[in-house]
Structure 1
Amino acid sequence: MLTHDRPAVVEVVAWAASNGDRSENADYQYSKRRLRQIDGRVRFLTKRIEAAEVVDPEAPRKWQRATRAFFGATVRYANAAGAKREVSIVGTDEVNLDRNHISWASPLGHALKGAAEGDEVVLHAPGGTETLTVLEVRYERISVEPFHIPPRSDISTGRQEDVKSR
């Protein structure tokens, strides 16, 4: 985004601005809007990176924090029907339901927060309310997918180049 999309949009803005009246120049207006969107996303991501904190789930914990479910915990629980499930509580950017990684901000994450083995917690989910029994809380390494840049998709610059007529 920063190294490809933004320079391309800046180039279009400069080209469109050179075409004269900007008030009725769709290329210019669209490209300026797209540039604001890119800059807003860059600001948002920069703040997220600056605020990020690495949490080691295996680091020693004091007192009750070693036995209670908080960020970084892996929790095994059962529902009222006896079905057992295990989830790891991770950040919003690491959620992966295929690997049972849930967000600390999710309804289940909120329900499990602070719970210890043997506790009953109430899950308030969009599908209804359910009582869960915490079977185990442990802190261990949580395997997350390494970050990768998604395949680049070309942005539309608003130019009407190479448009074939019917």
Structure 2
Amino acid sequence: MTSKANLITPNGYRLLKEEEDYLWRVERHEITKKVTWAAGLGDRSDNADYQTNKRRLRQIHSRVRFLRKRMEALTVVSPSPEQVGKVYFGAWVTLETEEGEVKKVQIVGSDEIYKHTSPCSIDSPLARAMVGKTIDDEAVVNMPDGPIYYTILAIEYDQ
């Protein structure tokens, strides 16, 4: 089994930080007010508002703990001038299949694939096949049904 890379793009890290900030500074504050209000109504065991908001508060605390631990373990990778013209982490790659289908993906860390519009995890077979390639190179992804061939049409990096 291959190990997962703890890499993240600067934009991906910013999104995680924004989520953590929002949960901790905004949503937690609002839910705490609701819990306090609901607790003042009396019997907490039959109080749906109290129970629901306490559960949400626990979810917020759990997610914030996860995000903080995860952000400590991540390495933010910014593009460098040496990468220009080759596919590396953070690259936006325009690919064409043998059938002529064109798609554009960005090679990102596993922590950012769920909030990304066109992700390609650095741990995926496609990303591994593209790393180090240049424009007009062929990236071959070996699949159970046979290899898939992609031609690299363009490589860009966020500034």
**What is the percentage of aligned positions where both structures have the same residue?**
38
CA contact (8 A) 1:78 1:135 kept: yes
Amino acid at match of 1:58: S
TM-score by length of 2: 0.57
- Does the alignment pair 1:14 with 2:20? no
Distance in 2, Cα, partners of 1:56 & 1:2? 27
Equivalence for 1:80: 98
- CA shift at 1:30, angstroms? 1.1
Structure 2: where are the runs of 5+ without partners?
Answer: 1-22
Distance in 1, Cα, partners of 2:104 & 2:28? 42
Distance in 2, Cα, partners of 1:132 & 1:120? 6
Equivalence for 1:3: 25
- TM alignment of 1:35-114, pairs within 5 A: 35-60=57-82, 69-83=87-101, 85-91=103-109, 92-93=111-112, 95-97=116-118, 102-105=120-123, 108-112=126-130, 114=131
- CA shift at 1:123, angstroms? 6.2
> Greater Rg, structure 1 or structure 2?
1
Equivalence for 1:121: 140
Secondary structure in structure 2 of the residue aligned to 1:29? helix
Distance in 2, Cα, partners of 1:105 & 1:37? 28
Secondary structure in structure 1 of the residue aligned to 2:30? helix
Structure with the larger helix share: 2
Q: Taking structure 1 as reference, are residues 8 and 82 closer, same or farther at Cα in structure 2, changes over 3 Å only?
A: closer
- Does the alignment pair 1:142 with 2:155? no
